Amino acid sequence: MDELTRADVPAGRPRAEDATEGFDALFAREFPRVARTIHHVLGDRARAEEVTQDAFLELLRHWSKVAAYDRPDLWVRRVAIRKAQRERHRAWRRVELERSASPDGSVEPPTPAPEVLAAVRRLAPKQRAVVVLFYFEDRPMAEIAEILECSESTGWSQLHTARRHLASALGEEVTDDVR
């Protein structure tokens, strides 16, 4: 029997419940992973969960289109990283405005974090995203490039630059053995 006429394949338009089943499965599987990535990017668990929720809400709004993609998980991760980068920029801008408004220029120090994570957080947003995806999530560069919408060579270049900055910040020597 032809696949299109099999009895177990529903006829007609899919029900709304069927359309959200794929979303629900993706949400259950990917939300913790995306939230962990964004936590590493932002350094704040609560903000990371908010940004991740926003990214999944956007995914739900576009689900009819994104569900057809080969890797909708990469789409939501890309959206979450962009939102996190915008959030970091806004936070940095607020600190700069507070600093300029304060007569002595003092700002309370950030909550202490492990040395390496602190160094990662000081990286430029794209470098930070590449480092988190490559080292913390162990993703291949091809996937990282797709998530960040850049070429693989740009991803490798960002990673190389980030590693140099991290080595300098941590007082270590860099070896180019990442491939």
Residues for the chain: how many in total? 179
| Residue ranges for the chain with pLDDT beneath 70 | 1-20, 89-114, 172-179
- Is the entire prediction scored with pTM above 0.85? no
pLDDT of residue 2: 38
Show me where the domains of the chain are located.
15-110, 112-179
Q: How far is CA 145 from the centre of its chain?
A: 12
Question: Looking at residue 105, what DSSP letter applies?
Answer: -
CATH of domain 15-110: 1.10.1740
Q: Determine the 3-state secondary structure of 33 from DSSP.
A: helix
Q: List the structure tokens of 149.
A: 């919408």
CA separation for the pair 147, 103 (Å, rounded): 42
pLDDT of residue 24: 94
pLDDT of residue 61: 94
What architecture is the 112-179 domain classified under in CATH?
Orthogonal Bundle (1.10)
Q: Rounded to the nearest 5 degrees, what angle is found at the Cα of 143, between the Cα atoms of 178 and 176?
A: 10
15-110 and 112-179 in the same fold: no
Q: Determine the 3-state secondary structure of 17 from DSSP.
A: helix
